[in-house]
Amino acid sequence: QSQAEREMLEAINAERARGGVCPSGVFPAAAPLKFEGHLHKAATLYGRELAASGRLDLPHRSQVDNRVPSQRMVDAGYRPVPPNGIEWVFGESLAAGMDLTSPAEVIAAWKGSPSHCAALFEKVLDGTAAQVTGAAGTYWVLNIAGW
């Protein structure tokens, strides 16, 4: 985890502590995300794929192997065991651009999107943010998971 990635996770956790107003509603404060190495591996690998392609394609499906975020996270080794009857939550938020280098800029971009903003306040505890720089600019991948 780089210094920039640590700063991003700290900024996300500060946002979570405040709660937030999103296009999709008002969200109460949420517990901080704990850095999780497997999620970081999945986020970094996908960020590298995006940076190499110079694109930010949606939906979040790999152009290399057609895998979706939950598959990439499990492939990277993320395997917590939720209590019986509880489903895992997997979320991925992306941001890219030449000027999206500071946590405040990236979080502001995510807060402008109903689904990305809601993901910032998801009631999960594991998360990470990966930063990859490519020819088309800086790519951020936020992976969150848990229950």
pLDDT digits (tens, 9 = 90+) for 81-133: 888 888 889 999 999 987 787 999 999 999 999 999 999 999 999 999 999 99
Distance CA 2, CA 43 (A): 13
- Check whether 8 has a pLDDT greater than 80: yes
pTM of the model: 0.93
Q: If 0-12 CB within 10 Å is exposed, 13-18 middle and 19+ buried, where does residue 87 land?
A: exposed
Largest Cα–Cα distance of the chain, in whole Å? 45
Q: Strand (E) positions, the chain?
A: 20-22, 25-27, 34-35, 89-97, 126-134, 137-146
pLDDT digits (tens, 9 = 90+) for 42-72: 999 999 999 999 888 778 889 889 899 999 9
